[in-house]
Copies of this chain bind each other. A is one copy, B any other.
């Protein structure tokens, strides 16, 4: 089992089946920290990479082949489905939406997204990857309703989310409508990705940490729950990831995913307690991954120690790989996790 088990380690862990060691993959494992990626980016924009099936496929494969991750995650961007909905998206280099949603009328003007037509190039990349990856599972993904709504309303990254929170409070019906549509889009899109060949999916609520527990519970959780329920029909395991969720992890977990992704601000042992019955994914600090090797090894070993003997543990970072991360550090971390299964 230990020798031939690798291809299903990740899926087994998602389903809380026993595994000889935890599987390992990293958010943003394909990205600027890799020379191979920078070489491609010198010739193509992010949107070109994401929308050209052969390029998205090549970028997705780079870290899997180089570092031996136990799962591939499709190279794409959570904002892609917002384009067919009507958002004018560009990267400069941070994502900017030139026609943000600032009123109930703006929100009403958004079009539905039909992933099979509107995102066919992404789905094409998935089917190419399915052939290339062999036994290595492929993870599809979508942005959670809150994180996508924030981008639509703020028009780009934000620090304080003042506009998003004002919209949520001043236009409760429009907010509910927007969140429902984003949840529906998310479920449809994840289902289409699974049908195209993804064996697991992750929901990114990267900005959930801007919220209070009450805001999360009242204005966000119902729609994340609807997204999870909708995507569950695909049969693929669902990982629900958020940063800054320490204050409302029980609510976050109650969205009902198979696995819960936590960041380094959450005590991992506490996360296992809070998310009883669900797999847990996390939670190495990406800044530690980018830093000196001895501290990286110590932190990774501590995470492995906490996860040891638990069903449903997936080794990952607490957020994406930082661009300044040395490739040697990624290799060292992956090696450490892989060696955890050896006698």
Footprint of B on A, CB under 8 Å?
A: 160-162, 165-166, 169-170, 209-215, 244, 246-248, 264-267, 270, 283, 285-288, 290-292, 294-295, 299, 302, 318, 322, 324
Contacts and interface: CB of A to CB of B under 8 A. Distances in A.
Contact of A267 (B247, B266, B283, B302): B247
Nearest to A284: B212
A166 B340 CA distance: 25
Nearest to A162: B287
Contact of A291 (B165, B246, B288): B165
Contacts of A213: 265-267
A287 B165 CA distance: 7
B285 A166 contact: no
B247 A169 contact: no
A160 B290 CA distance: 10
26 contacts: A161-B287, A162-B287, A162-B322, A162-B324, A165-B285, A165-B287, A166-B287, A166-B290, A166-B291, A169-B292, A170-B291, A170-B295, A209-B265, A211-B265, A212-B283, A212-B318, A213-B265, A213-B267, A214-B299, A214-B302, A215-B264, A244-B244, A246-B246, A246-B265, A247-B266, A247-B270
A324 to B, nearest CB: 6
A212 B265 contact: yes
A292 B285 CA distance: 36
Contacts of A209: 244, 265
The list of the 9 closest CB pairs from A to B, nearest first, reads: A169-B295, A246-B247, A246-B246, A166-B291, A212-B264, A170-B292, A247-B265, A165-B287, A162-B287
Contacts of A165: 285, 287-288, 291
A266 B214 CA distance: 10
B212 A162 contact: no
A41 B265 CA distance: 37
Contacts of A295: 169-170
Nearest to A266: B247
Contacts of A214: 299, 302
B287 A160 contact: yes
B160 A288 contact: no
Contacts of A264: 212, 215
Contacts of A270: 247
Interface centre among A209, A246, A267, A290 (most CB of B within 10 A): A246
Contacts of A267: 213, 247-248
A266 B283 CA distance: 20
A169 B248 contact: no
A221 to B, nearest CB: 14
A299 to B, nearest CB: 8
Interface centre among A170, A265, A267, A290 (most CB of B within 10 A): A265
Contacts of A161: 287
Given A160-B286, A212-B264, A212-B265, A292 B166 contact: yes
A160 B320 CA distance: 11
Contacts of A290: 160, 162, 166
Contact of A244 (B211, B212, B265, B292): B265
A332 B324 CA distance: 46
Contacts of A169: 288, 291-292, 294-295
